[in-house]
Amino acid sequence: MTLARLAVFFVFFLSGFAALVYQVVWQRSLFAIYGINLESVTVIVTAFMLGLGLGSLAGGALSKEPRRPVLLLFAAVEASIGAFGLVSLPLFHRVGEATLSLPPLATAGVTFLLVLAPTLLMGSTLPLLTAHLVRRSGNVGKSVGALYFVNTLGSALASVAAVALLLPRLGQARAVLVAAVVNWVAAAIVGGFAVVERKGAREA
């Protein structure tokens, strides 16, 4: 396995880690604003799912064009998720205070819009990297399996780290900061490899 390939798997592990930290913290934050009854929980979880689904479609559409630099796109996506992470909690609270008196359906819409941008970005990452790996390996199952493995493993680790370490020791705001830093590290690594790879391709 080449170093570049290893780097792709490693950054996707980091990406999965950061995503789950956000999910755990954002859910907690939104529950405090919109309530912890089943209806609120369902709206928030479904909003996450819808965002991921739409993001997957967007990532898939972006990956169709073979000449498009999918690794650079991935780096930009990770950096953007980190940037949103930084402003996420104050944004949730401001919007929450302003929209709390809205009817339930409107509240659901607001919640969806709040998590739409980051989850859309998160959802786009798997198709982008799948396209990158399939172009090199020619095997869909192995590419998806490996990517899904490292990403989900990162998320699994983040689930445990969030409740065993991050939330008890750091609280919500600093846990989100950790996730943002992880996003930027991932962006820097994959961005670096993408630049080197393009340079090599041009020289060849």
Partner 1 sequence: MSFSLSLWVAGLAGFVALSYEILWYRAYGIVSRSMPATFGWLLGAYLAGVALGSLGSRAFCHDDARAERRRLLPVAVFVYLANVASFLVVPALARLVTSVKWQLSLPLVALAAGLLGAVLPLASHFGIRPDDRAGARLSYVYVANIAGSSLGSLATGFLLLEHLSLRGARVALSVAGLALFALSGATATSTARGRLAVTGVAAVTLLATAATSRAVFEQVHERLFFRKAFTADKRFDALVENRHGVIAVTDGKVYGGGVYDGILNVGLRDDPNWVFRAYALGAYHPAPKRVLMVGLASGAWARIIAGLPGVERLTVIEINPGYLDLIPQVPIVAPVLKDPKIEIVIDDGRRYLQRHPGARWDAIVMNTTWHWRGHSTNLLSAEFFEVVRARLAPGGVFMFNTTLSEPVMKTAAVSFPHAQRLYNFMVVSDAPVVFDEARWRRTIEDYRMDGAPLLDPAGDAWDAKRMADLLYLPATLHRPPVWEGLESRESLLARFGHLPTVTDDNMWCEWHPSDLEEE
Is residue 19 a contact point for partner 1 (CB under 8 A)?
no
**Would you say 130 or 188 has its CB closer to partner 1?**
130
28 near 170, Cβ under 8 Å? no
Query: Which residues make Cβ contacts (< 8 Å) with residue 54, sequence separation at least 6?
Result: 116, 119, 120, 123
Size of the site for partner 1 (CB under 8 A): 71
115 near 49, Cβ under 8 Å? no
Residues 174-203 within binding reach of partner 1 (CB under 8 A): none
**In the chain, what are the helix, strand and coil shares in percent, each to the nearest 5?**
90, 0, 10
Q: What is the 3-state secondary structure (H, E, C) of 1-45?
A: CCHHHHHHHHHHHHHHHHHHHHHHHHHHHHHHHHCCCHHHHHHHH
Give least dist CB 30 to partner 1, A: 11
Residues 105-164 within binding reach of partner 1 (CB under 8 A): 123, 126-128, 130-132, 134-135, 137-146, 148-153, 155-157, 159-160, 162-164
Give least dist CB 13 to partner 1, A: 10
Residues 52-111 within binding reach of partner 1 (CB under 8 A): 52-53, 56-61, 63-64, 66, 70, 100-101
**Would you say 48 or 84 has its CB closer to partner 1?**
48
**Would you say 126 or 186 has its CB closer to partner 1?**
126
Give least dist CB 29 to partner 1, A: 8
Is residue 10 a contact point for partner 1 (CB under 8 A)?
no
Q: What angle do CA 59, 60, 63 make, to 5 degrees?
A: 85
Is residue 45 a contact point for partner 1 (CB under 8 A)?
yes
